Amino acid sequence: MKTQTRRKFLFNLGLAGLSIPVISGNGQCGEDKKSNPNAMTDKNRKAGKLGIALVGLGGYSTGQLAPALQQTEHCYLAGIVTGTPSKAETWKQKYNIPQSNIYNYENYDAIKDNPDIDIVYVVLPNAMHAEYSIRAAQAGKHVICEKPMAITVEDCDRMIDASKMAGKMLSIGYRLHFDPYHLEMVRLGTQKIYGPIKKMNAGFSFVAPKGIWRLDKKMAGGGPLMDLGIYCLQGICYTTGMEPVAVTAQSAPISDKEKFVDIEETLTWQMEMPDGLIAACTTSYSQRMNMLRAEAEKGWFELSPAFNYSGLKGKTSGGTMEYPALSQQARQMDDFALAIKNNRSSPVPGEMGRRDMKIITAIYEAMRTGKRVAL
Ligand code: NAD
């Protein structure tokens, strides 16, 4: 079996020499643990790092983004926005954040006067993305917004317009564009290493617990398609290098009517690509699936699990894929910081988030009408 080596992979991405600091037990870089917050801010700014403020300190900010920001080379955790005073205190101590860089939802707009904060990263429930991204742009900040970009295409337009008006950049938290396994799927698919793709499947599901905002259409904008299915449609687009021209979709019967009041529980959909390929996808809040697979004329390639933060496994008809563990989120945020510093575009811009929202909207229409919806 063929295995791609770490050296070769880093070379391919032009990242040989990338240094990743070791994280100590509390998620902080040991060296800076005892520094005073203002001195640490000065040090980061002198090193040319851009300051990021995380908005919403829930599961993703706490478990992934803040730890990743201890590994980044071109940006650092400069500030936070939270409605919970006890969280503010915990984060302030843990990450050495100056009190002047801690905001709540009432004084959020005052961030405009804070030169420590270059980038605002919106990590709130989906229905809040548009408002907080637009206000960040109006405060003169670059924005990263979590996926899905918003809950309507119109909101995506307003977000793009606000960033353009402010002359600032907007990108979406599509972490997998920075993961070596997914980059390999892109290479195998778009360079037709196994010939043209004939069949594609993707599935991403988990069992959602009762009572979370993800089950509330007002906050989530929809069901598992908005949250998990978006990874499947992304995977199909970047592996093929194409965008769908039409979609069809079918929702499965609801098994728990109390839990799934106004969102889909399980959804299958098909994406018709410009070359005639039909990609089949599934998402659900009551199953477990996690795969992305392509069958081409001369072979196949797949990831399973495909969409996790780490521990991905890749196989091809020619062997296994094996890459070193890297933080997807650290690479994603560093790339955005470099895009800003070097005045180049982001590979995951607001326009891509809008494209995906357009596809999602078409999938929901196909699900409701039972008809093929052209894009
Ligand atoms: P979460 O429920 O853990 O956190 C949401 C945060 O928003 C909490 O801190 C909560 O206090 C705050 N909040 C503020 N106003 C709120 C309100 N009115 N209702 C509910 N919460 C409110 O959610 P999460 O898993 O951190 O997800 C946040 C965003 O990040 C979502 O858009 C999600 O799609 C995205 N996300 C992305 C990834 C990824 O891999 N890119 C992973 C997880 C989540």
Domain membership flag for residue 3: no
Ligand 1 site: residues with CB under 6 angstroms?
56-61, 83, 123-126, 146-147, 173, 175, 213, 219, 227
Identify which of 123, 214, 328 to mutate to test ligand 1's pocket (most ligand atoms within 8 A of the CB): 123
Same domain, 128 and 245: no
**227 and 88 part of one domain:** no
pLDDT greater than 70 at residue 29: no
Residues 209 and 246 placed together within one structural domain of the fold: yes
Number of domains in the chain: 2
Q: Give the tens place of pLDDT for each residue, 77-133.
A: 999 999 999 999 999 999 999 999 999 999 999 999 999 999 999 999 999 999 999
Same domain, 156 and 243: no
> pLDDT at residue 309 above 50?
yes
Pocket-testing residue among 84, 124, 232, ligand 1, by greatest number of atoms within 8 A of Cβ? 124
Tell me, yes or no, whether 253 and 321 share the same domain. Answer: yes
Same domain, residue pair 201 and 118: no
Decide if 352 is inside a domain.
Answer: no
CATH, residue 197: 3.30.360.10
129 in the same domain as 116: yes
- Is residue 12 scored above 50 in pLDDT? no
Same domain, 168 and 198: no
**Residue 129 CA, closest ligand 1 atom number:** 32
Could you tell me if residue 348 is inside a domain?
A: no
Is 335 among the domain residues?
A: no
The average pLDDT across 316-321 equals 97
Full domain range(s) for residue 250: 176-325
Do 227 and 132 lie in one domain? The reply is no
CA of 288 relative to ligand 1 center, distance in Å: 21
- CA-nearest residue for atom 40, ligand 1, is 175
Q: Are residues 307 and 258 in the same domain?
A: yes
CA 125 to ligand 1 center in whole angstroms: 4
Is residue 342 domain-resident? no
The catalytic residues are 147, 231
Q: Tell me, letter by letter, the H, E, C secondary structure of the chain.
A: CECCCHHHHHHHCCCCCCCCCCECCCCCEHHHCCCCHHHHHHHHHHCCCEEEEEECCCHHHHHHHHHHCCCCCCEEEEEEECCCHHHHHHHHHHHCCCHHHEECCCCHHHHHHCCCCCEEEECCCHHHHHHHHHHHHHCCCEEEECCCCCCCHHHHHHHHHHHHHHCCCEEECCHHHHCHHHHHHHHHHHCCCCCCEEEEEEEEECCCCCCCHHHCHHHHCCCHHHHHHHHHHHHHHHHHCCCCCEEEEEECCCCCCCCCCCCCCEEEEEEECCCCCEEEEEEECCCCEEEEEEEECCEEEEECCCCCCCCCCEEECCEEECCCCCCHHHHHHHHHHHHHHCCCCCCCEHHHHHHHHHHHHHHHHHHHHCCCEEC
> What is the overall mean pLDDT for the chain?
92
Q: What does the pLDDT average to over 310-314?
A: 98
Per-residue model confidence (pLDDT) at position 35: 67
Work out the pLDDT band at 341, boundaries 50, 70, 90. Answer: very high
Nearest CA to ligand 1 atom 42: 60
Nearest-atom index, ligand 1, CA of 174: 41
Pick from 142, 173, 204: which residue ends a domain? 173
